[in-house]
Structure 1
Amino acid sequence: MSRKMLFIKLLLLLVHYANQSQAQYLKNCNEDVLLKCPGFPSESSFLSIAWYKVINQDKRGLIRRNKDEVKRYSYNRSIEFGENQGLFLQSVTPEDSGTYECAVHANVGGQNRNDMVNLMVNECLTKAETTTITNVSNTSQATQPCHKQVEGLPIMWSILGYLGVGLGKIILSLICIGVIRVCRSSRRQQQRRW
């Protein structure tokens, strides 16, 4: 008998967590978004509905509707109820990304629901403005802008240039070595004379 009860409890838990669905929304910056409450019942079958933003496992109240009354909690942006009691956010930004909870409190005999909705907002991209710079000179002549095409050097000239630089370094090194030898030999001769 205890196995059957355990199985029934496990089955009820699975049904409960299956009803706790999590919808996903991916939006671009500055788009309007309507977060729908998954499995929202018909208008007449709820006592109240509330939207929360979940921040570090704490719920922060955003907006709540009892049958005829709408209450807005202090929040840093404009929020409204949308179609089917969804949460309508205008011009979302990455700061709006996160988990939202829709809490539906049912009438007597109904079932309360708490559904999670994830919102991910892409980073805002700004277009770089093009700036035109105009140089003005104080000459009396009108000069035409120079439109010369830059040409690359042929490979042979590049190789000859590198060889010339390399040979120049070798010659300078040999000259330095010769000067050092001459200086040493002149010092030795001066030491022998003393």
Structure 2
Amino acid sequence: MRNLKISALLLFAMAALHCGISEDTEVIKGNCNDTVRLPCKAADRTKTYRYIMWYKTEKSPIIKRKSNSYTLYNFTSISLGDKETLVLNGVQPSDSGKYKCYLAADVGGQNDESSVVLNISECLNLSTVYPISTTVPADSCPAVEELTVPWAVIGLSLITVTKIVLCIITVGVCDRVIFRTVRRKQEVRGSKTGRSSWKE
């Protein structure tokens, strides 16, 4: 039983040395055609290592640096920045995915790695965006004819005379209505006083 526990501990130690330290994966978002920097968190923990290798989706190598020698794998618009940051220029939606930074330790050291997920938004195709027209077609507005001064004076005079006539008619109608109302009241009063004197 004791040998079994020792074997399990040895297997765990070998797996930790081979695979390095795992951690939570960071997610970085970017826009189409931007320059994106993917941090290598393993470089913050491990200061000495033989080489660094960046992978995409665990299998596709991207770039390797050993000493001052660089090897690119089917990628041209990439480079390494400070602290082994992977710099991607002109990113496209196809660049989205999981990236892994792997540090190969010196003899007797411990390998380390960190992962980051990149999400790139879809590119807008500007050739399919149509500009908004701000011009108004000539036939959409009716033609406006200018009036001469005499016709304008005649038109304004007719409007003024029409207003005066309407005012006179309105005043006359109001006078007749008021006159009839007062007359009826007087007749009612007169009839009441005549009846009262007849009774006496």
TM-score (norm. length: structure 1): 0.56
Counterpart Cα distance in 1 of 2:64 and 2:20: 25
Instruction: State the AA in 2 paired with 1:123.
Output: E
Q: Is the 8 A contact 2:40 2:101 kept in 1?
A: yes
Counterpart residue number, 2:79: 80
Considering only CA atoms, is the larger Rg found in Structure 1 or Structure 2?
A: 2
Instruction: State the AA in 2 paired with 1:47.
Output: R
TM-score (norm. length: structure 2): 0.54
Q: Deviations over 1:85-140 (max 9, x none)?
A: 11111243321111112121222232222433222223345685541153134x99
Counterpart Cα distance in 2 of 1:67 and 1:90: 23
Counterpart residue number, 2:119: 120
Shift of 1:27: 0.9
Bigger share in helix = 2
Counterpart Cα distance in 2 of 1:113 and 1:22: 14
Q: Deviations over 1:139-166 (max 9, x none)?
A: 99459xxxxxxxxxxxxxxxxxxxxxxx
Counterpart Cα distance in 1 of 2:31 and 2:66: 31
Bigger share in strand = 1
* Aligned-pair Cα RMSD in Å: 3.3
Q: 1:129 to 1:22 in 2, by over 3 A?
A: farther
Counterpart residue number, 1:93: 92
Counterpart Cα distance in 1 of 2:60 and 2:20: 24
Q: Structure 1: any 5+ residue segments left out of the alignment?
A: 144-194
Counterpart Cα distance in 2 of 1:7 and 1:53: 32
Q: 1:47 to 1:32 in 2, by over 3 A?
A: same
Counterpart Cα distance in 1 of 2:119 and 2:142: 61
